[in-house]
Amino acid sequence: MINLFGGSTENLSIGLEKSHYTTGETVKGRLIISASKDSKARSFRFFAEGKEETKIRVNESYTDYDSSGNSSRNNRTVTHTESDTFFSQDLFHLLVAIVIL
């Protein structure tokens, strides 16, 4: 339960048919919002974003020198990260509302 609309208690549930989708697949699921009678909301918007993130971990060897000129061989792991939002869309027009009093 969350408080979205100032004072009332709401339940927000998002359920997708699958947990992973591949390029070109249509994402299908349900968004269910239920609120108590004291909710002050008159409308809401639903936006979807497609984001991707790539992480590459590289093990690197390097030589470290101390003040006397002695060297030691060390290893470290470096992580390179890249992310992208490849779409952002208002999906309000796709919602079907069912109101139960």
Tens of pLDDT along the chain (101 residues)? 444 555 556 677 888 899 888 878 888 888 777 776 666 666 667 788 888 889 999 999 989 898 888 999 999 999 999 999 888 888 777 766 555 44
Residue 1 domain flag: no
- Residue pointed to by tokens 């639903």: 46
Residue 4 domain flag: no
Looking at the structure of the chain, the number of domains it has is 1
Tokens coding 2: 């969350």
Residue 41 domain flag: yes
Closest to 35 (Cα-Cα) out of 9, 1, 14: 9
pTM: 0.40
Residue 17 domain flag: yes
Residue 29 domain flag: yes
- Residue pointed to by tokens 């009332």: 8
Residue-number span of the structural domain to which 15 is assigned: 10-94
Residue 101 domain flag: no
